[in-house]
Amino acid sequence: MEKDLSVLEQKIGVKFNDQEFLRQALVHRSYINENPDFRLGHNERLEFLGDAVLELAVTEDLFKTYKNPEGELTNWRAALVNAKTLAEVGGGLELDNFIYLSKGESRDTGRARQYIIANAMEALIGAMYLDSGFATVKKFVQDKIIILLPKIIESGLYKDSKSFFQEKAQELTGITPSYEVLKEWGPDHAKNFLIGVFLENEKIAEGEGLSKQEAQQVAAENALQAKGWSGPV
């Protein structure tokens, strides 16, 4: 069933020259698996492009706006482009109402859905870039994503548990943590990962997530608790 995307265009503040770019950004792999004759492919190539374009847009804005050291800018950028932030922005735009999903995926409203929304945000930015160029992307990113930076800084959300655990481990034990995938399961479009964090041969904690990066962050948070080391705010 075709979705009326003009409402979404109003929400994102961008009118597409070719609305098919926008539509494809919203097609999840599960929908194609269930509807193989749909005229458009899934959004993963646009997601790949959008991830890079988003990072460049955020990097350029931070570089021009702030004189802070590289390490702080890197942490701020990571907080702005991670799945949690993108899902939050996508939720505010009600992106979920426009994504093409299989019947099974459409019933799942948990963490997996948040990850799908975040990926669709990246695909949306990729589509925006192809349709009308980098200037349009920059304005969208400034209006919808970078505007969250003051809240991120104030609440300490830019502090990265994985980096913090590494700093504490090196300081207190002289060992650099390593991460190992212990288990992965689920279909390609909804993988789950269980990752262990180790200090040499000792497993300190485990973490589960919908990407390796997310699972590593959760493992690091759990490791900080297990060691009794104060984590990020």
Q: Which residues are catalytic?
A: 51, 122
How far is 177 from 221, CA to CA, in rounded Å? 13
Helices (H), 108-211: 111-132, 134-144, 149-155, 161-173
Contacts for 3 with CB less than 8 Å, ≥ 6 apart: 23, 26, 98, 100
> Element (H or E) spanning 202, and its range?
strand 202-209
The conformation of residue 95, written as its DSSP 8-state character, comes to G
Contact partners, residue 81, CB within 8 Å, separation at least 6: 51, 54, 55, 58, 145
Tokens of 67: 């004189």
Question: Which tokens hold the place of 176?
Answer: 């650099």
Q: Is the dihedral of CA 171, 172, 176, 179 positive or negative?
A: negative
Q: Which two tokens stand for residue 64?
A: 């021009």
The CA–CA distances, whole Å, from 203 to 106, 150, 200, 219 equal 37, 36, 8, 10
Between CA 5 and CA 13 the distance in angstroms is: 12
Residue 44: closest CA among 19, 23, 25: 25
3-class secondary-structure state, position 30: helix
